[in-house]
Amino acid sequence: MPSAPDKPEPEKTLVIACGALGREIVDAIRLNGWSHLSVTCLPALWHNRPSKIPEGVRRKIAEARGHYGRILVAYADCGTGGELDRILDEEGVERIDGPHCYAFYEGLEAFEVAAEKNPACFYLTDYLARHFDRLIIEGLGIDRHPELLGDYFGNYTTLVYLAQTEDPALQAKAEAAAEKLGLNFEMRTTGLGGLGRFLAGAA
């Protein structure tokens, strides 16, 4: 006999997130006791293929319809050129404000001021510091073609590590990443910033 379909849970909220934010979101839900919040993630590697993000989010929304009272998206524009917002407008789903996660971690206004002061910055978050070699060195093919390093990073002067946690091991990884790229190193401790406020609002 086939099992009964899942019943809708109108009091529950689903957050559709980038995989690069998944750990932070799960930790925030657990630490704050937000038991009515659930999260599902799309692959973090899609940052290198942002054209996949809009339709991937649309599929997640379709899967969640009828199972949750509210659906939210923890993606910034992330290089989709406005296509993600177009789809979310069609679906009637809200996302976190900002062009990318660096901006909402630091705060949109603070990020814009800092970026205007020094536009030649490459940014890491905790996730990117943790997986730098896999996502950046291997993901961009620099391990196989070292000559690409200058093509990708020749116009940067500084690696800025936007730290969600105070973790000496991650700081060391970020410093090592700056050295590999031949960039100056700067660290700013942001916490969850706008992501934390977005989740609190959802809760």
- Exposure of 109 by Cβ count < 10 A (0-12 exposed, 13-18 middle, 19+ buried)? exposed
Query: Per residue in 83-123, pLDDT tens?
Result: 999 999 999 999 999 899 999 999 999 999 999 999 999 99
What pLDDT score does 9 carry?
A: 60
In this predicted structure, what is the pLDDT of residue 2? 46
**Residue 8: both structure tokens together:** 């809708």
List strands edge to edge, sheet with 94-95.
37-42, 9-18, 68-74, 94-95
Token digits of residue 119: 């536009």
Q: pLDDT tens across 2-13, in order?
A: 444 455 565 899
pTM value is 0.85
Give residue-wise pLDDT tens across range 51-76.
Answer: 999 999 999 999 999 999 999 999 99
